Amino acid sequence: MKVMILGKATAETEAGVLASPEDFEAMEQYVAKLAAAGIVLAGDGLAPTSKGKRVAIDADGKATVVDGPFAEAKELIAGYQIWEVSSLEEAVEWVKRSPVRSSEVEIRKILDASDFDPAFAEQVAAAEEDAR
């Protein structure tokens, strides 16, 4: 199963404060362990929302663009990784080993064909293949 690991933003990440060299080293070692276990597929840190935009699209398709920064840092994302794990419980165990401190991590399953009605799963798989 593929999951997305979402590292929640903090006041520091939203202020653009980068981690210390020691924290970067600890994270590099952690990601190396994930890679050695064949778990991590992708991941990156994100710039603060002050450097981002939000696009809201209404029911009629009209888009409204809002420049960052965005309120409520506890609801914002500072980074992400995509993992391939056997279960959500395995993902939780790997997150517990993370060197990240004073933050929150969210784990979300990435939907795949098995999440849909079996009659629809074949269509979803074909559409995913066409998109690739």
Where does the pLDDT of residue 71 fall: very low under 50, low under 70, confident under 90, or very high at 90 and above?
Answer: confident
The whole-number average pLDDT for the span 77-98 is 96
**pLDDT tens-digit series, residues 15-66:** 999 889 999 999 999 999 999 999 999 999 999 999 999 999 999 999 999 9
pTM above 0.85, yes or no: no
C-alpha 12 chain-centroid distance? 18
**pLDDT tens-digit series, residues 90-129:** 999 999 999 988 889 999 999 987 888 877 767 777 787 8
Residue 73 reports pLDDT greater than 70: no
Within the chain, residue ranges assigned H as helices are 11-14, 21-36, 88-96, 118-131
Where does the pLDDT of residue 74 fall: very low under 50, low under 70, confident under 90, or very high at 90 and above?
Answer: low
Look-up: residue for tokens 């960052």? Answer: 68
Instruction: Put residue 110 in one of left, alpha, beta given phi > 0 → left and psi -120 to 50 → alpha.
Output: beta
Going along the chain from its start, the domains and CATH numbers come out as: 2-131 (3.30.70.1060)
Q: Give the whole-angstrom CA distance, residue 76 versus residue 104.
A: 11
